[in-house]
Structure 1
């Protein structure tokens, strides 16, 4: 089935939807949904080895846009350790906002600036950060400091029922990258979560982001799963056909 992405549509100012790959979608239903909702963009995320879904998407003019790699690691229980990370507050947002500019150039949005727009993508991640500090998107944001200066951050969403936490955004200030601060941030994050009712930590990144993947592997994470992002966008030919009297 397909579902409309209302928030995304409003934010990016185009009609957007997502294919659910857990249930079959027929070609007639697909085209009826597109026409009914005047869709401009559709995304689909499927297992990398789900060839049935891949063949259907490609037959409907989707193209593979990106690879999503999800890593996981275990969290030990040790409330005696104390992390150096601190919770970000609204007063930290201006610093974090400046730090984030150009930081997510490997994201699945940033690599399709002709669709999403570079300024809107930048705004998206800053809004994500702002809402996470407030606890209205991810649950909280932690920052790492060097000489009292914020040099990195990570946002976290917790699932206390499954005792799992997920990293949303993670970044190190560009001028502090390459000196081990990313590994330190991840190490300190595990220490922080040891005092929480969390047993598993997961994080996803893009297949082209070799630096991030190497960092997670270096810090003891293992690959949990790999998925493919597929995009469909309306072509000029389709626009002409739909506007005919």
Structure 2
């Protein structure tokens, strides 16, 4: 069995996780027929496939790929009144841009909150997912991955949640990470974070805000759909890997 794609070596992920990692690129103009043995030199080969591509998914499964996680990408229109988000505004909490001094608590929170993701066993080691997202939020604060990180804080200045944002183009932004702090329970923080992201888009004259989440994250799915976002696409992540040693 084979698929038509190119194999893209992921240098940064390989270095970070200590595992030789590549990804199949099905859209590359230089793609060619890939046979299973050509991927044997990598510890992990990733493939992200549209959920509608059932034949492709079957072909990958026959080549040793396993389903890891499903993903749903949402799109929220900016520029019209969003009654759901506005109704969740807090009279006491405030929104601030994260600063360097906020990195340590944000890293700790991201490591705890995002401990379960597609970077999971048996392909990755315990703690890898948390380390990955801790670095992500740090880079968002300093603007070297996502471009900014917004915080919702209470009246005393305690961080209740965070959302990172990236400029995609003149009209579009994307949420990278969105989460409430582990101790912030039942305060509607998720809705306040979405409102902060929405208002940031209005201020920067964006027309659309994109955000993706895994299908197992029911709370996020409900938040984005209640916020008025529509489903733009669905996909599956599949991995092929040599993971007996983990």
TM-score, normalization: structure 2?
0.85
Aligned to 2:179: 171
CA contact (8 A) 2:108 2:134 kept: no
Does the Cα contact within 8 Å between 1:43 and 1:229 map onto a contact in 2?
Answer: yes
RMSD (Å) for aligned C-alpha atoms: 2.3
**Residue 97 of structure 1: CA displacement?**
2.1
| CA contact 2:165–2:176 (8 Å) conserved in 1 | yes
When the two structures are aligned, how many residues end up with a matched partner? 228
Q: Deviations over 1:171-211 (max 9, x none)?
A: 10122133311112112221222110211001000011111
Matched residues in 2 for 1:45 and 1:213: separation? 20
- Please list every run of at least 4 consecutive aligned residues from structure 1 whose deviation after the TM superposition is greater than 4 angstroms: none
Asked if the contact 1:66–1:228 (Cα under 8 Å) also holds between the matched residues in 2, the reply is yes
Matched residues in 2 for 1:136 and 1:156: separation?
11
Structure 2 residues not aligned, in runs of 5+: 1-5, 87-92
State the partner residue of 1:242.
Answer: none
Find the aligned partners of 2:17 and 2:197 in 1 and give their Cα distance. 33
Deviations 1:102-132 (A, max 9, x none): 20144222xx233222323222111111111
3-state DSSP of counterpart to 1:136? coil
2:117 aligned residue (100, 107, 116): 107
Task: Give the number of the structure whose residues are more often helix, by fraction.
Answer: 1
Q: 1:176–1:146: structure 2 CA closer, same or farther, 3 Å change rule?
A: same
- What residue is the counterpart of 1:137 in the other structure? 145
Question: What is the alpha-carbon distance in structure 2 between the residues aligned to residue 178 and residue 118 of structure 1?
Answer: 29
Partners of 2:185 and 2:125 in 1: CA distance: 26
Q: State whether residues 140 and 147 of structure 2, in contact with CA within 8 Å, keep that contact through their aligned partners in structure 1.
A: yes
Q: Secondary structure at the match of 2:219?
A: helix
Establish whether residue 150 from structure 1 lines up as the match of residue 159 from structure 2.
yes
Give distance in 2, aligned partners of 1:123 and 1:235: 19
Q: How far is 1:48 from its partner?
A: 0.3
Segments of structure 1 that go 5 or more residues without pairing to the other structure are 240-245
| Contact 2:72–2:213 (8 Å) recurs in 1 | yes
